[in-house]
Structure 1
Amino acid sequence: MTTFWVPDLLGDGFEQLTLPLGHDDEGSVVATLVRSIPNRLSRVTGPLADVDVLYVHGWSDFFFQTELAHFWTRLGARFYALDLRKYGRSLREGHTPGYIESLETYDEDIAAAREVMARDAGTRRLVLMGHSTGGLTLTLWAARHPDAASAIVLNSPWLELQLGAVGRQALAPLVGVRAKFDPRGTHPAVDLGYYTRAQNELGSLPPSVDMSVWRPPRGFATHPGWLNAVIQGHRTVAAGVEVGAPALVLLSKRFTSPFTWSEALTTSDSVLVVDDIARAATRIGSLVTIARIDGAIHDVFLSAAEPRRQAYDALEQWIIGCLDPRHPLLFGATDPRP
């Protein structure tokens, strides 16, 4: 276990720090913070030079998206990515990968990360960025800490179950019973590996990083205790929350069923029913922008070149408009008001 920054597996410009989180019934628990710092010029002149970004990955995942980090550091922001407990760099022998019984437990991981970030550079504006389950986790965290973030970016956030609200309501009691009596029981495997195949065909996954353990092709096994935690999160979102900051939700335009292979899986979301997510996103706050990216896959920043470019363009335009006081969206040369 390291208590200081050391070089990260992603290579030059990336460092990691282990965050001790105590113990649970599976042993010692840690989170891991990865950072990338902008160059000296960007730290001075970048429009986001007073911003820290905290990124949280999705289910059966970890941080490896160097292009995403470089996007933020080019704008002057300090970029931090958190491998949550029992994921990626934080996974230890004896752990059930990704297992949690309440998403609120991740408050400890986030608090530890924020403490280090403040120690690094003092108190700065915070941008939260979450993908899939990480998007759900950060949405709920922001609603519990409404003054913490200046902006929230959600990349295909898992805000509703794939069965929709009616299916979730029907399933929830059954999952709740199993979570109480058999929390680490097994579920039938439903991931056939086609989402990973789509990313491989697009060349989205870095060849230099071994994905086999931290990001297996068919995902981690799922368990009733974990699924119950996610469903409780979905129920909270469905009732309406307030994240307390402008939010950008990036989604594909289309969903394709992942139960048989087709080339459409390389140009659409095959994990979440994106129309349901778009509807759920309207319930997370009072100022929500939804950007639908044609040709994007579930992680829009791992899509083919053109939809990925569109996603970065949408993100840059939106974040500069939100956070850069020099931008004409906020302080134009001509005041349009009478």
Structure 2
Amino acid sequence: MRQEVPLKNSSYIPDLLGDGFERLTLEFPPDYEGEVIATLIRSTTHKTSEKAVLYVHGFNDYFFQKEMALNFNDHGYNFYALDLRKYGRSYLKHQKFNNVRALSEYDEEIHQALQLIKLENNHQVLLMGHSAGGLITTNYAANHLHSTLFHGLIGNSPFYEFNLGHFTRTLVVPVVAFLGHYFPNIRISGIPSGSYGKSIHAESHGEWAYSLTWKPHEVPKINLGFITAIYTAQKNIRRKQVIGIPTLILHSSTTVHEKNWSEKFQEGDAVLNVDHIKKYANKLKGTITVVEIKKGLHDLILSKKPVREAVYKVLFDWINTNFNRTH
């Protein structure tokens, strides 16, 4: 059961992104590592609006996608994002990055953020998640059917399956996940992502400036408990399947299988297998829309400009069709 955390009368302060972005620290009871916080970032529209989106980043990530936030603002949505516990702005020195033992641990910050968003007079709220954030938000939605705090779900290349061979996925991962219940602090090698990082970072082949401390090219070792958390959530959404709200799942048209840098990294998903995303997205039940984005990167909104413009068109057309109809 999620522990209800009372909302505190805290004030937003200017965020490192500038340009009117603000942040608020959310505090929670200590966990197995000690003090725990999360960070809520917001960018509000210039005109009064009762519509909002809450964005959740992926693994080895934090919120820096300013262009996305401003696009939502331009379309009349107040934009909010979470830096989850043990990531980015919320990382504390006594913690290991990304160290959770169940994705339900994130329910505390998601629920508190949604409460705050509602208190700030937003009455149409969309949940949006990228990669692991897509899994987290899908899992949250499946576990909170009929919630009045959110009304739609958007997945940007959600992490519905490990990008591994059949033998490893079906035999090795379940064993590792089982061991993670009992030995959560054992550390194993992280997920190789150096070439993907180079495809998006401005100092390499990309156009985006972000912190390589908070989002390094090479992923640090991860705890077995984190594998357990991901695997358990993946099994949960496959079992429940029903989401209950309009849902949009976006994914690239191509999986990049190479390990070393090539131009293919700028035209496909170099982190997840798009066939896995399609397979499990199409098994979800409800008002589900699954759209392939030609030449999209793993984080679709970090793709080349013509591609991300196509992403935004699909995204806002879907929103207008499902939420902003005029009669």
Taking structure 2 as the reference length, the TM-score comes to 0.91
Look up the match of 1:278.
Answer: 278
Cα distance, 1:299 vs structure 2: 0.2
Within 1, Cα distance between the matches of 2:125 and 2:220? 30
Look up the match of 1:126.
Answer: 125
Given candidates 41, 47, 62, the residue that maps to 1:34 is 41
Deviations 1:147-170 (Å, cap 9, x if unpaired)? 233211110000112136764331
Look up the match of 1:334.
Answer: none
Amino acid at match of 1:126: V
Q: Tell whether the 8 Å contact from 2:57 to 2:132 is kept in structure 1 after alignment.
A: yes
Aligned length: 316
Q: Secondary structure at the match of 2:312?
A: helix
Cα distance, 1:3 vs structure 2: 2.9
Look up the match of 1:204.
Answer: 207
Q: Tell whether the 8 Å contact from 1:101 to 1:225 is kept in structure 2 after alignment.
A: yes
Look up the match of 2:28.
Answer: 21
Deviations 1:18-64 (Å, cap 9, x if unpaired)? 00012012111011000000002xx3xxxxx3312110000010001
Q: Runs of 5+ in structure 1 lacking a partner?
A: 44-48, 332-338
Q: Structure 1 240/180 Cα, relative in aligned 2: closer, same or farther at 3 Å?
A: closer
Q: Tell whether the 8 Å contact from 2:133 to 2:158 is kept in structure 1 after alignment.
A: yes
Amino acid at match of 2:129: G
Look up the match of 1:174.
Answer: 175
Within 2, Cα distance between the matches of 1:157 and 1:204? 23
Q: Secondary structure at the match of 1:219?
A: coil
Q: Secondary structure at the match of 2:241?
A: coil
Q: Structure 1 78/185 Cα, relative in aligned 2: closer, same or farther at 3 Å?
A: same
Within 1, Cα distance between the matches of 2:125 and 2:113? 12
Q: Tell whether the 8 Å contact from 1:247 to 1:285 is kept in structure 2 after alignment.
A: no
Q: Secondary structure at the match of 2:39?
A: strand
Within 1, Cα distance between the matches of 2:190 and 2:22? 35
Look up the match of 2:143.
Answer: 144
Q: Tell whether the 8 Å contact from 2:84 to 2:106 is kept in structure 1 after alignment.
A: yes
Within 2, Cα distance between the matches of 1:317 and 1:118? 24
Look up the match of 2:194.
Answer: 193
Deviations 1:81-119 (Å, cap 9, x if unpaired)? 011100111000110101110111111111111222122
Amino acid at match of 1:197: K
Q: Structure 1 183/61 Cα, relative in aligned 2: closer, same or farther at 3 Å?
A: same
Deviations 1:174-207 (Å, cap 9, x if unpaired)? 213431342121213441501101112553322x
Q: CA RMSD in A?
A: 1.9
Within 1, Cα distance between the matches of 2:166 and 2:127? 26
Look up the match of 1:4.
Answer: 11
Q: Runs of 5+ in structure 2 lacking a partner?
A: 1-8
Taking structure 1 as the reference length, the TM-score comes to 0.89
- Are 1:219 and 2:205 an aligned pair? no
Q: Secondary structure at the match of 1:142?
A: helix
Deviations 1:117-173 (Å, cap 9, x if unpaired)? 12222x511100000000000001001112233211110000112136764331244
Q: Structure 1 74/267 Cα, relative in aligned 2: closer, same or farther at 3 Å?
A: same
Look up the match of 1:46.
Answer: none
Q: Tell whether the 8 Å contact from 2:62 to 2:87 is kept in structure 1 after alignment.
A: yes
Within 2, Cα distance between the matches of 1:37 and 1:155? 22
Cα distance, 1:310 vs structure 2: 0.6
Within 1, Cα distance between the matches of 2:101 and 2:197? 26
Which structure has the larger Rg over C-alpha atoms? 1
Aligned-pair identity in percent equals: 34
Look up the match of 1:261.
Answer: 261
Within 1, Cα distance between the matches of 2:166 and 2:109? 29
Amino acid at match of 1:32: T
Q: Tell whether the 8 Å contact from 1:101 to 1:226 is kept in structure 2 after alignment.
A: yes
